[in-house]
Amino acid sequence: MRSKKAVFLILMGIAIAAVPFLLRMREQQRAGQYINQLEDNEDEDETNKETGNRKKEASPYLAEGVIGMVEIPELKIKYPVFEGTGKVQLNEGIGHMENTIPLCGEGNCVLAGHNGSGRGTFFTNLSNAKTGMEVNLTTKEGVTHCYMVEEMRVVSPYDAWVTEDSETEMLTLFTCAEHGTRRFACRCVPVKDYGTERGNADSE
């Protein structure tokens, strides 16, 4: 009887330990579907420009609000970006705050993502970001802008620094920190501005 109970407890422990791994696999699979669809759409746009062919009907993934993709190669982050930061969007990938500048626009574009919880692990590695790290942001039209991490901060959930306006292009990424009581945020500037007076001024 005791041996059966011990086996049961061991199996339960293995099952519980496997949950984060299975969630990660599920996220990677679904993210891959979105990204493949986005990349296929970009390739199709190039073909249409060259041949004059009409675009095919929009994919169901793009119809659900995918507006681009964010990638941080060194952190193995590569996820679709959705319009909005509601529950649905953040359970599928990274969310773009609707009251901020559009992707790759002039001003402060803000992206949010869950980390290390049952809700998702999309930005789990963001806290390992370092200054000078490359961040690539691609729109659904295939336009890619490359940024460099300029500054990191741990702020309150309502700190205006995250969403503050800017006259110049920049990208802000943030996720939960300290069990959800704070926010870890990265301020990124275009590669051409990294380390310049303009980039430093935007970070102050």
CATH of the domain at 176: 2.40.260.10
Range of the domain at 120: 2-51+59-203
pTM for the structure as a whole: 0.72
Q: Classify residue 60 as exposed, middle or buried by CB count within 10 Å of its CB (0-12, 13-18, 19+).
A: exposed
Count of domains for the chain: 1
Per-residue pLDDT of the chain (204 residues; tens, 9 = 90+): 566 665 555 656 555 544 454 455 555 555 555 556 555 555 544 444 443 433 334 344 444 578 999 999 999 999 999 999 998 888 889 999 999 999 999 999 999 999 875 556 799 999 999 999 999 999 988 899 999 999 999 999 999 999 999 999 999 999 999 988 999 999 999 999 887 765 555 545
The beta-strand segments (E) located in 31-157 are 66-72, 77-83, 94-96, 108-112, 134-139, 144-155
